[in-house]
Structure 1
Protein backbone atom coordinates (compact mmCIF):
# COMPACT_ATOMS: atom_id res chain seq x y z
CA UNK A 1 0.00 0.00 0.00
CA UNK A 2 2.82 2.39 0.87
CA UNK A 3 4.47 1.67 -2.49
CA UNK A 4 1.22 2.51 -4.32
CA UNK A 5 0.84 5.78 -2.40
CA UNK A 6 4.45 6.76 -3.16
CA UNK A 7 3.90 6.01 -6.84
CA UNK A 8 0.71 8.06 -6.85
CA UNK A 9 2.42 10.99 -5.12
CA UNK A 10 5.28 10.80 -7.62
CA UNK A 11 2.90 10.79 -10.59
CA UNK A 12 0.98 13.78 -9.23
CA UNK A 13 4.23 15.65 -8.54
CA UNK A 14 5.54 14.96 -12.03
CA UNK A 15 2.26 16.02 -13.60
CA UNK A 16 2.17 19.19 -11.51
CA UNK A 17 5.77 20.12 -12.37
CA UNK A 18 5.19 19.66 -16.09
CA UNK A 19 2.19 21.99 -15.92
CA UNK A 20 4.17 24.53 -13.96
CA UNK A 21 6.99 24.36 -16.52
CA UNK A 22 4.63 25.05 -19.43
CA UNK A 23 5.09 28.67 -20.42
CA UNK A 24 5.76 30.75 -23.52
CA UNK A 25 7.84 33.92 -23.34
CA UNK A 26 7.21 36.63 -25.90
CA UNK A 27 10.02 39.12 -26.46
CA UNK A 28 9.60 42.46 -28.18
CA UNK A 29 12.56 43.33 -30.43
CA UNK A 30 13.71 46.29 -32.47
CA UNK A 31 16.41 46.29 -35.10
CA UNK A 32 18.25 49.54 -35.72
CA UNK A 33 18.81 48.85 -39.40
CA UNK A 34 20.61 50.89 -41.98
CA UNK A 35 19.54 51.64 -45.50
CA UNK A 36 23.20 51.35 -46.49
CA UNK A 37 23.41 47.87 -44.95
CA UNK A 38 20.28 46.79 -46.77
CA UNK A 39 18.03 46.43 -43.69
CA UNK A 40 15.52 49.02 -42.62
CA UNK A 41 14.74 49.67 -38.95
CA UNK A 42 12.24 47.04 -37.87
CA UNK A 43 10.30 45.64 -34.92
CA UNK A 44 9.04 42.12 -34.37
CA UNK A 45 8.31 39.57 -31.65
CA UNK A 46 9.81 36.20 -30.84
CA UNK A 47 8.13 33.46 -28.82
CA UNK A 48 9.96 30.66 -27.06
CA UNK A 49 8.70 28.06 -24.59
CA UNK A 50 6.36 25.14 -24.16
CA UNK A 51 2.58 24.96 -24.33
CA UNK A 52 0.64 23.03 -21.70
CA UNK A 53 0.26 20.09 -24.11
CA UNK A 54 4.06 19.85 -24.38
CA UNK A 55 4.38 21.53 -27.79
CA UNK A 56 7.72 23.32 -28.05
CA UNK A 57 7.52 26.88 -29.41
CA UNK A 58 10.37 28.76 -31.07
CA UNK A 59 9.18 31.28 -33.63
CA UNK A 60 9.26 34.94 -34.54
CA UNK A 61 7.07 37.25 -36.58
CA UNK A 62 7.27 40.71 -38.01
CA UNK A 63 5.32 42.53 -40.70
CA UNK A 64 6.81 44.08 -43.79
CA UNK A 65 6.21 45.19 -47.32
CA UNK A 66 6.87 42.47 -49.88
CA UNK A 67 8.76 44.94 -52.05
CA UNK A 68 10.39 48.04 -50.63
CA UNK A 69 10.76 51.25 -52.58
CA UNK A 70 9.51 54.78 -53.07
CA UNK A 71 6.09 53.48 -54.15
CA UNK A 72 5.31 52.87 -50.46
CA UNK A 73 5.40 56.63 -49.84
CA UNK A 74 2.32 56.97 -52.05
CA UNK A 75 0.10 54.39 -50.40
CA UNK A 76 -0.40 50.74 -49.55
CA UNK A 77 1.77 47.94 -50.87
CA UNK A 78 1.78 44.17 -50.87
CA UNK A 79 2.59 42.67 -47.49
CA UNK A 80 4.20 39.66 -45.86
CA UNK A 81 4.89 38.17 -42.47
CA UNK A 82 8.64 38.32 -42.00
CA UNK A 83 10.37 35.55 -40.07
CA UNK A 84 13.85 36.59 -38.98
CA UNK A 85 16.85 34.35 -39.48
CA UNK A 86 18.76 33.37 -36.36
CA UNK A 87 21.66 35.70 -37.26
CA UNK A 88 19.35 38.74 -37.06
CA UNK A 89 17.87 37.67 -33.72
CA UNK A 90 21.26 38.12 -32.09
CA UNK A 91 21.62 41.65 -33.47
CA UNK A 92 18.46 43.12 -32.03
CA UNK A 93 17.48 45.32 -29.13
CA UNK A 94 15.46 43.17 -26.73
CA UNK A 95 13.13 45.61 -25.04
CA UNK A 96 11.10 43.36 -22.73
CA UNK A 97 9.80 39.82 -22.32
CA UNK A 98 6.42 38.70 -20.98
CA UNK A 99 5.28 35.18 -20.10
CA UNK A 100 1.94 34.47 -21.76
CA UNK A 101 -0.73 31.81 -21.36
CA UNK A 102 -1.59 29.22 -23.99
CA UNK A 103 -4.80 31.15 -24.70
CA UNK A 104 -2.87 34.37 -25.32
CA UNK A 105 -0.32 32.52 -27.46
CA UNK A 106 -3.16 31.24 -29.66
CA UNK A 107 -4.67 34.74 -29.88
CA UNK A 108 -1.32 36.11 -31.06
CA UNK A 109 -0.97 33.34 -33.64
CA UNK A 110 -4.51 33.98 -34.93
CA UNK A 111 -3.72 37.68 -35.33
CA UNK A 112 -0.47 36.86 -37.19
CA UNK A 113 -2.47 34.69 -39.61
CA UNK A 114 -5.11 37.42 -40.08
CA UNK A 115 -2.41 39.87 -41.11
CA UNK A 116 -0.64 37.26 -43.25
CA UNK A 117 -3.85 36.42 -45.11
CA UNK A 118 -5.28 39.95 -45.43
CA UNK A 119 -6.42 40.52 -49.00
CA UNK A 120 -4.87 43.05 -51.33
CA UNK A 121 -2.28 45.66 -50.46
CA UNK A 122 -2.33 45.63 -46.65
CA UNK A 123 1.06 47.19 -45.80
CA UNK A 124 0.97 50.95 -45.27
CA UNK A 125 3.79 53.06 -43.84
CA UNK A 126 1.31 55.30 -41.99
CA UNK A 127 -1.34 52.86 -40.76
CA UNK A 128 -0.13 49.21 -41.00
CA UNK A 129 3.61 48.81 -40.75
CA UNK A 130 5.74 46.65 -38.45
CA UNK A 131 5.05 49.00 -35.53
CA UNK A 132 1.28 48.60 -35.88
CA UNK A 133 1.67 44.84 -36.16
CA UNK A 134 3.75 44.59 -32.97
CA UNK A 135 1.39 47.10 -31.31
CA UNK A 136 -1.58 44.82 -31.93
CA UNK A 137 0.35 41.93 -30.40
CA UNK A 138 1.21 44.14 -27.42
CA UNK A 139 -2.50 44.87 -26.93
CA UNK A 140 -3.31 41.16 -27.02
CA UNK A 141 -0.80 40.51 -24.24
CA UNK A 142 -2.35 43.31 -22.16
CA UNK A 143 -0.07 46.30 -22.73
CA UNK A 144 -1.04 49.91 -23.20
CA UNK A 145 -0.20 50.99 -26.74
CA UNK A 146 -0.06 54.34 -28.56
CA UNK A 147 1.24 55.32 -31.98
CA UNK A 148 2.79 58.81 -31.85
CA UNK A 149 3.20 60.01 -35.43
CA UNK A 150 6.85 60.94 -34.93
CA UNK A 151 7.66 57.31 -34.03
CA UNK A 152 5.90 55.43 -36.85
CA UNK A 153 9.19 54.76 -38.64
CA UNK A 154 11.39 54.51 -35.56
CA UNK A 155 10.87 51.07 -33.99
CA UNK A 156 13.42 51.39 -31.17
CA UNK A 157 12.08 54.77 -30.10
CA UNK A 158 8.52 53.43 -30.30
CA UNK A 159 9.26 50.34 -28.17
CA UNK A 160 10.99 52.60 -25.64
CA UNK A 161 7.76 54.63 -25.60
CA UNK A 162 5.73 51.46 -24.99
CA UNK A 163 8.14 50.59 -22.16
CA UNK A 164 7.36 53.97 -20.60
CA UNK A 165 3.60 53.48 -20.97
CA UNK A 166 3.84 50.13 -19.14
CA UNK A 167 5.93 50.56 -15.97
CA UNK A 168 4.67 47.18 -14.69
CA UNK A 169 7.12 45.60 -17.15
CA UNK A 170 10.07 46.77 -15.05
CA UNK A 171 11.98 47.25 -18.31
CA UNK A 172 14.59 49.89 -19.01
CA UNK A 173 14.71 52.22 -21.98
CA UNK A 174 17.37 51.17 -24.52
CA UNK A 175 19.80 53.86 -25.68
Structure 2
Protein backbone atom coordinates (compact mmCIF):
# COMPACT_ATOMS: atom_id res chain seq x y z
CA UNK A 1 0.00 0.00 0.00
CA UNK A 2 1.48 3.42 -0.97
CA UNK A 3 2.27 5.92 1.76
CA UNK A 4 -0.39 8.51 2.42
CA UNK A 5 0.36 12.11 1.61
CA UNK A 6 1.35 14.25 4.52
CA UNK A 7 0.97 17.75 3.13
CA UNK A 8 -0.08 20.39 5.61
CA UNK A 9 -1.73 23.61 4.50
CA UNK A 10 -1.41 26.46 7.01
CA UNK A 11 -3.36 29.69 6.67
CA UNK A 12 -1.77 32.97 7.74
CA UNK A 13 -2.50 36.66 8.01
CA UNK A 14 -0.16 39.60 8.26
CA UNK A 15 -1.37 42.88 9.69
CA UNK A 16 -0.30 46.48 9.12
CA UNK A 17 3.22 47.33 10.12
CA UNK A 18 6.07 47.33 7.66
CA UNK A 19 3.78 45.80 5.04
CA UNK A 20 0.25 45.96 3.68
CA UNK A 21 -2.21 43.53 5.39
CA UNK A 22 -2.15 40.14 3.69
CA UNK A 23 -3.60 36.62 3.75
CA UNK A 24 -1.73 33.62 2.36
CA UNK A 25 -1.12 29.91 2.89
CA UNK A 26 1.91 27.66 3.27
CA UNK A 27 2.10 24.02 2.09
CA UNK A 28 4.71 21.62 3.48
CA UNK A 29 5.10 17.87 3.42
CA UNK A 30 5.57 14.97 1.06
CA UNK A 31 3.42 13.55 -1.74
CA UNK A 32 2.85 9.82 -2.29
CA UNK A 33 5.47 9.99 -5.07
CA UNK A 34 8.04 11.08 -2.50
CA UNK A 35 8.15 14.63 -3.87
CA UNK A 36 8.79 17.20 -1.15
CA UNK A 37 6.37 20.12 -0.91
CA UNK A 38 7.57 23.38 0.62
CA UNK A 39 5.87 26.43 -0.87
CA UNK A 40 3.54 29.28 -0.10
CA UNK A 41 1.13 31.46 -2.05
CA UNK A 42 -0.69 34.72 -1.66
CA UNK A 43 -2.43 37.01 -4.13
CA UNK A 44 -1.36 40.64 -4.14
CA UNK A 45 -1.10 43.79 -6.18
CA UNK A 46 2.12 43.91 -8.20
CA UNK A 47 2.71 47.43 -6.84
CA UNK A 48 1.20 48.62 -3.58
CA UNK A 49 0.11 52.15 -4.44
CA UNK A 50 -2.86 54.48 -3.94
CA UNK A 51 -4.19 53.13 -7.25
CA UNK A 52 -5.60 50.08 -5.48
CA UNK A 53 -8.08 52.38 -3.72
CA UNK A 54 -9.66 53.50 -6.99
CA UNK A 55 -9.93 50.37 -9.10
CA UNK A 56 -8.31 47.25 -10.45
CA UNK A 57 -4.53 47.05 -10.80
CA UNK A 58 -2.06 44.39 -11.92
CA UNK A 59 -2.08 41.42 -9.57
CA UNK A 60 0.05 38.35 -9.06
CA UNK A 61 0.28 35.14 -7.09
CA UNK A 62 3.43 35.61 -5.04
CA UNK A 63 5.45 33.48 -2.64
CA UNK A 64 6.05 35.19 0.71
CA UNK A 65 9.63 35.11 1.98
CA UNK A 66 10.47 32.99 5.07
CA UNK A 67 11.06 36.07 7.27
CA UNK A 68 7.65 37.47 6.27
CA UNK A 69 6.00 34.13 7.10
CA UNK A 70 7.81 34.00 10.46
CA UNK A 71 6.45 37.47 11.31
CA UNK A 72 2.87 36.56 10.38
CA UNK A 73 0.04 34.94 12.34
CA UNK A 74 -0.73 31.28 11.66
CA UNK A 75 -4.44 30.68 12.22
CA UNK A 76 -4.98 27.01 11.39
CA UNK A 77 -3.47 24.03 9.59
CA UNK A 78 -5.12 21.14 7.77
CA UNK A 79 -3.66 18.03 6.14
CA UNK A 80 -4.53 17.20 2.54
CA UNK A 81 -4.10 14.20 0.27
CA UNK A 82 -2.41 14.24 -3.13
CA UNK A 83 -5.69 14.89 -4.94
CA UNK A 84 -6.51 17.98 -2.86
CA UNK A 85 -2.93 19.19 -3.19
CA UNK A 86 -3.24 18.98 -6.99
CA UNK A 87 -6.58 20.81 -6.85
CA UNK A 88 -5.02 23.60 -4.79
CA UNK A 89 -2.18 23.88 -7.31
CA UNK A 90 -4.73 24.05 -10.16
CA UNK A 91 -6.46 26.90 -8.32
CA UNK A 92 -3.11 28.70 -7.92
CA UNK A 93 -2.57 28.34 -11.69
CA UNK A 94 -6.08 29.65 -12.38
CA UNK A 95 -5.36 32.77 -10.30
CA UNK A 96 -1.97 33.24 -11.98
CA UNK A 97 -3.71 33.25 -15.35
CA UNK A 98 -6.48 35.75 -14.58
CA UNK A 99 -6.30 38.52 -17.20
CA UNK A 100 -4.79 41.79 -15.97
CA UNK A 101 -5.74 44.04 -14.23
CA UNK A 102 -6.54 41.22 -11.86
CA UNK A 103 -6.24 42.70 -8.35
CA UNK A 104 -9.19 44.58 -6.90
CA UNK A 105 -9.17 45.58 -3.24
CA UNK A 106 -12.93 45.08 -2.97
CA UNK A 107 -13.55 42.21 -5.42
CA UNK A 108 -10.41 40.10 -5.90
CA UNK A 109 -7.74 40.39 -3.24
CA UNK A 110 -5.68 38.07 -1.03
CA UNK A 111 -8.67 37.22 1.17
CA UNK A 112 -10.75 36.23 -1.87
CA UNK A 113 -7.85 34.02 -2.98
CA UNK A 114 -7.49 32.16 0.32
CA UNK A 115 -11.29 31.90 0.66
CA UNK A 116 -11.35 29.84 -2.54
CA UNK A 117 -8.68 27.52 -1.14
CA UNK A 118 -10.60 27.22 2.14
CA UNK A 119 -13.77 26.28 0.24
CA UNK A 120 -11.87 23.84 -2.00
CA UNK A 121 -10.62 22.05 1.12
CA UNK A 122 -14.19 21.65 2.37
CA UNK A 123 -14.36 24.38 4.99
CA UNK A 124 -16.92 27.13 5.35
CA UNK A 125 -16.48 30.87 5.08
CA UNK A 126 -18.97 33.72 5.12
CA UNK A 127 -19.56 34.88 1.54
CA UNK A 128 -21.18 38.02 2.97
CA UNK A 129 -18.32 38.76 5.36
CA UNK A 130 -17.43 42.29 6.36
CA UNK A 131 -13.78 41.20 6.44
CA UNK A 132 -12.72 41.03 2.76
CA UNK A 133 -10.17 43.76 3.52
CA UNK A 134 -9.20 42.48 6.99
CA UNK A 135 -7.20 39.24 6.70
CA UNK A 136 -6.84 38.49 10.41
CA UNK A 137 -10.52 39.11 11.14
CA UNK A 138 -11.48 36.96 8.14
CA UNK A 139 -9.35 34.06 9.40
CA UNK A 140 -10.85 34.38 12.88
CA UNK A 141 -14.31 34.27 11.32
CA UNK A 142 -13.38 31.11 9.38
CA UNK A 143 -12.27 29.51 12.65
CA UNK A 144 -15.60 30.39 14.28
CA UNK A 145 -17.53 28.84 11.36
CA UNK A 146 -15.47 25.63 11.44
CA UNK A 147 -15.15 24.42 15.05
CA UNK A 148 -13.10 21.36 14.01
CA UNK A 149 -10.27 23.61 12.82
CA UNK A 150 -7.55 24.08 15.38
CA UNK A 151 -5.05 26.88 15.70
* TM superposition score category, shorter chain reference: over 0.9
Does residue 51 (structure 1) correspond to residue 31 (structure 2)? The answer is yes
Q: Post-superposition shift, 1:72?
A: 1.3
Higher-Rg member (1/2): 1
CA distance in 1 between counterparts of 2:111 and 2:41 reads: 12
The residue that corresponds to 2:138 in the other structure is: 158
Q: Post-superposition shift, 1:148?
A: 4.4
Does residue 122 (structure 1) correspond to residue 106 (structure 2)? The answer is no
Q: Post-superposition shift, 1:147?
A: 4.2
The residue that corresponds to 1:26 in the other structure is: 9
The residue that corresponds to 2:84 in the other structure is: 104
Residues 145-164 of structure 1: CA deviation (Å, up to 9, x unaligned): 12445312110011000000
Gaps of 5+ in 2: none
Please identify runs of 4+ aligned residues in structure 1 that moved more than 6 A.
Answer: none
Equivalent residue pairs, number: 151
The residue that corresponds to 1:12 in the other structure is: none
CA distance in 2 between counterparts of 1:113 and 1:151 reads: 25
The secondary structure found in structure 1 opposite 2:99 is coil
Higher RCO (CA-CA < 8 Å; seq separation 6+)? 2
CA distance in 1 between counterparts of 2:31 and 2:124 reads: 25
State how 1:133-144 maps to structure 2 within 5 Å. 133-144=113-124
Residues 113-161 of structure 1: CA deviation (Å, up to 9, x unaligned): 1111111211101110000000000011111012445312110011000
The residue that corresponds to 2:56 in the other structure is: 76
